[in-house]
């Protein structure tokens, strides 16, 4: 398991690896992360949720499976990788939405047929690897979890954060926020 031991390391990872293509989407990992954080911030999200949005796909930069992992039938469990790597240093209000953002997609696919129909092709492909839409019992368990609502908000930002060329704040804009939350 990879552990991230400083905010500086987060910014190095996002700067270095974040320029890679984002798994079949028209943005890079960094663009996607910055857009997700900006969407949450614009909606008045708590700073912990803004940080979660910025860091929710950090796990993609920690595995070595490559961009075509889903095409090869692999679920990299990036949500778990990212949350585990940050677990010693960030509060549950950041970590739980990161860990739960894939489950939130599965929940929303169960709860709303229009949501499922609107997913990008890459998201539909990864959904199959991630277990597909939740069962009724899984959905009931999920929605009762602490931070489930925040994970759903993050999921909506995640889905929206795929706009080529969208002007959003730079990565450095979020350094003070991450440093404030770090312990």
Mean pLDDT value of segment 159-166: 94
**Residue 21 forms beta bridges with which residues?**
28
Helix residue ranges per DSSP H, the chain = 7-17, 29-42, 47-55, 78-86, 92-111, 113-118, 121-129, 136-143, 148-160, 175-181
Percent of the chain with pLDDT over 70: 87
Per-residue confidence (pLDDT) for residue 63, from 0 to 100: 67
Q: Output the pLDDT for position 60.
A: 85
- Cβ-contact 29, 17 below 8 angstroms: yes
Q: Domains (ranges, CATH) in the chain?
A: 7-175 (1.10.3210.10)
Split at pLDDT 50, 70, 90, the class of 74 is: low
pLDDT at 172: 97
Query: Average pLDDT over the chain, rounded to whole?
Result: 90
Taking only the tens place, the pLDDT of each residue in 47-73 is 999 999 999 999 888 865 556 555 655
């Amino acid at each position: 398991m990879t552990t991230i031991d400083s905010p500086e390391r987060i910014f190095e990872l996002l700067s270095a690896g974040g320029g890679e293509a984002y798994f079949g989407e028209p943005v890079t990992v960094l663009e996607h992360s910055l857009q997700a954080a900006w969407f949450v911030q614009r909606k008045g999200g708590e700073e912990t949720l803004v940080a979660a949005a910025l860091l929710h796909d950090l796990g993609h930069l920690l595995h070595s499976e490559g961009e075509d992992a889903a095409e090869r039938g692999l679920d990299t469990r990036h949500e778990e990788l990212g949350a585990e790597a940050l677990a010693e240093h960030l509060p549950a209000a950041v970590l739980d939405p990161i860990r739960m953002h894939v489950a939130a997609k599965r929940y929303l696919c169960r709860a709303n047929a229009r949501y499922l129909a609107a997913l990008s092709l890459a998201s539909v492909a990864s959904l199959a690897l991630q277990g597909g839409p939740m069962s009724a019992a899984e959905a009931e368990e999920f929605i009762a979890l602490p931070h489930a609502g925040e994970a759903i908000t993050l999921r909506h930002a995640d889905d929206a954060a795929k706009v080529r060329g969208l002007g959003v704040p730079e990565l450095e804009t979020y350094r003070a926020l991450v440093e404030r939350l770090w312990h």
